[in-house]
Every structure is written in C-alpha cells, then in structure tokens.
Structure 1
Amino acid sequence: MVSVEDLLRHAEQLGVKLVEHPLPKGYCGFYLHPQRIICLDSGLSQRQYLCTLQHELIHAEFRDDGCSPTGKPELRARRETASRLIDLREYAACENEYSNDLFHIALELDVTKQVIEDYRELVLPKMIAQQHNFVNSR
C-alpha cells in the first residue's frame, strides 16, 4: 500500500512543492504546472489527502497544465490513481466480502469511494480486456 510518506518523497523527487489551503466546497486539490505546486484543501481527511495527493502527483508527472473534468488528462489521473492505490487481490477480497457496498470497500482499502468507483469504471474493464486479448492470442 502506498503511504502519504511515499507520496511526499515522490513529490520531492519531482521537484513539486505542496501547500495546504482552504479550498472552495467541492475542490480537494489542484496542480499548477508552471509553478510546480500542488495545493491541497487543508480540511481533507487522511484518506482524502492520500487519494488527492496521488491524483495531483500524476498530473505533475505528466506535466498537465490545466484540465477539464472530462478531459483525457483528468481521466488518466483518475485511472492511474485508482490503479496505484488499489491492489487487485485486496480489492477482490473486499468485493467478495462486501459485494456492492462501495463505502465499506473504500474503508477497508483506505481510499475514497470515488477511487473505488474509478477502479471499477476505468481500471477493471481495461484489465479484463487485456486478459481477454492475451487468452485469444494463444
């Protein structure tokens, strides 16, 4: 499991500065590429902080300079965040135990419900398609 400390080290390696500030309702964080700054809402829970920091670091890695909520950079950041924070075996065990209870799956995996939704919508279908292509290529 990725820790906040791991992500803080990664930010340092990328040369990205982190700041915390109260943000308007609905905003957890954002990345400013020209300044190489990630701003996180100062009121985030530990779980939200981890997920938001991972998300914004992906924007930094790809040097995203602004993005729309439905644009390719945002979808990539959401997919990569879910992929990096969730282990497939752990997810499968939680899915088996909690079925469609996203809240309890998120609690068990120590991520936000949004990251679970992104994992289901953006990561799992791609994994299934890759496995299908592998099986069919044999």
Structure 2
Amino acid sequence: MSIDSTPHASALGAANQAGSFQSFPDDMLGDNRSLPRLLAVRNPGGSSISLPVDPFQSYGRMRMTLYESAPGLTVMSDLLPGKMDGVYCRSTDTILIDRRITLTKKRCALVHELVHRWYGDDGDGQYSAWQESRCRLETARLMVRLDEYADAERMYEGDVFLIAAELDRTVQVIQDFQRLLREGATRTLLTFDDTNVLR
C-alpha cells in the first residue's frame, strides 16, 4: 500500500503532497524494503547540531556520557513546578530534569535542554516562543529517524500515541517531527551508502 492510499491523514502523506518527497525506482531501493516507496529527499532528521551525547542512548547512558563529554555541565534531578519536565540555566551550565517523569520523558527532556544549551539560550526556563519552537523542532530532528518513523506510522495507521510508544519518544517529539514533515522544513538530502541502504 502506498503512503497516499492509507486511510489516515499521515504526516508522510502530507509531506508527499507538499512536495517534500521524490519517487525512486525500485532498483535504487536495494533490499531496504522497510521504507515506503516514496523517500524523503530532504531529511527532517538532518540536524546540524552536535550534542555531547547520542540522543538514541538510554537516559542513564546519556547522563554517564555527559560526565566525560561535558565536564562543565551539571545535570540533576529535582521536583520542578507545574508541567515543566526540564530546564537549562546558562549562567550555571546546569540542567534540571523533573524526577517524577518517566524515563522516556527524561531522555527527551534532556535532549531538549541540551539543544537549548547548544544554542546558548538563557532564560532559566522562560524562553521566547521562537526559541522554544526552534528547540522542539531540533529535538525532533535529533531523536527521530525517518525510516523508523515511516515504519511505525504505517504499522499504527498514523496513531501518534502508538507511534510514540513504538519509538520510545514522547508524543510531543512525534508531533514536532510530524510538523517538520508537513511543513517540509527540511534541507539535508538523504544519502545512500554503496549498498543502497539509507543512512
């Protein structure tokens, strides 16, 4: 079944309608049949940000890695007010993550706050709407792989909650990734290695 024939309004289908996709002949796909026939030419996962951790690691592994890769950064858990999952303070180079949230939310919040750190955002959690939107979209670019998203979207017929559970991401990260797909806010070309496997 092609993306366009799915019964739901998929983000991949919307991106295709917006012109963010290009068809490739079958022989170019090689053995990578987990991808839809329409592949993104502009990769929403193509972030130019370089974090001191791999965003696909577990929360605990990221915390341990940060001790070596970012020795000046302090990452702590605490009770944060309201619905705040995390906060970054530039003046003390400290990230606080709410200790009551799930490990999935902690990992996504840590990557989100590392993106604020990378940009040098300073607001002790009171960021401008533009800074927060930029940070959320970059977090989605860093944490979601297009091929895994495509498989999950097809498998769960576009249900954002099931896609988030399958990919072990928050619903917010998945919705932000879908926004990237819909808006075509993508620039980096997908590349294939010499065996025609998407990288």
TM-score band, normalised by the shorter chain? 0.7 to 0.9
**Structure 1 residue aligned with 2:107:** 50
Q: How many pairs were matched up? A: 129
**Consecutive aligned runs of 4 or more in structure 1 exceeding 4 Å deviation:** none
Structure 2-normalised TM-score?
0.59
Deviation digits for residues 29-84 of structure 1 (CA, Å, limit 9, x no counterpart): 1000000000110101010001000000111111111153522x212211111111
- Segments of 5+ residues of structure 2 without an aligned counterpart are 1-54, 190-199
**Structure 2 residue aligned with 1:91:** 149
- Judged with a 3 Å threshold, the aligned counterparts in structure 2 of structure 1 residues 130 and 63 are, in CA distance, closer, same or farther, namely closer
Q: Is 1:62–2:116 an aligned residue pair? A: no
- Judged with a 3 Å threshold, the aligned counterparts in structure 2 of structure 1 residues 26 and 62 are, in CA distance, closer, same or farther, namely same
- Judged with a 3 Å threshold, the aligned counterparts in structure 2 of structure 1 residues 13 and 130 are, in CA distance, closer, same or farther, namely closer
1:79·1:123 contact (CA, 8 Å) conserved in 2?
no
- Matches of 1:123 and 1:39, distance apart in 2: 30
DSSP-derived class of the 2:185 partner:
helix
Question: Root-mean-square deviation (CA), in Å?
Answer: 2.0
**Structure 2 residue aligned with 1:25:** 82
Identity of aligned residues (%): 33
Query: How far off is 1:25 after superposition?
Result: 2.2
- Matches of 2:181 and 2:66, distance apart in 1: 23
- Segments of 5+ residues of structure 1 without an aligned counterpart are 132-138
- Judged with a 3 Å threshold, the aligned counterparts in structure 2 of structure 1 residues 38 and 122 are, in CA distance, closer, same or farther, namely same
> Which of the numbers 151, 166, 175 marks the counterpart of 1:108?
166
The higher-RCO structure (CA 8 Å, 6+ apart) is: 2
Structure 1-normalised TM-score?
0.83
Query: How far off is 1:13 after superposition?
Result: 2.3
**Structure 2 residue aligned with 1:79:** 137
- Matches of 1:12 and 1:36, distance apart in 2: 15
Query: How far off is 1:2 after superposition?
Result: 0.9
* Structure number with bigger Rg: 2
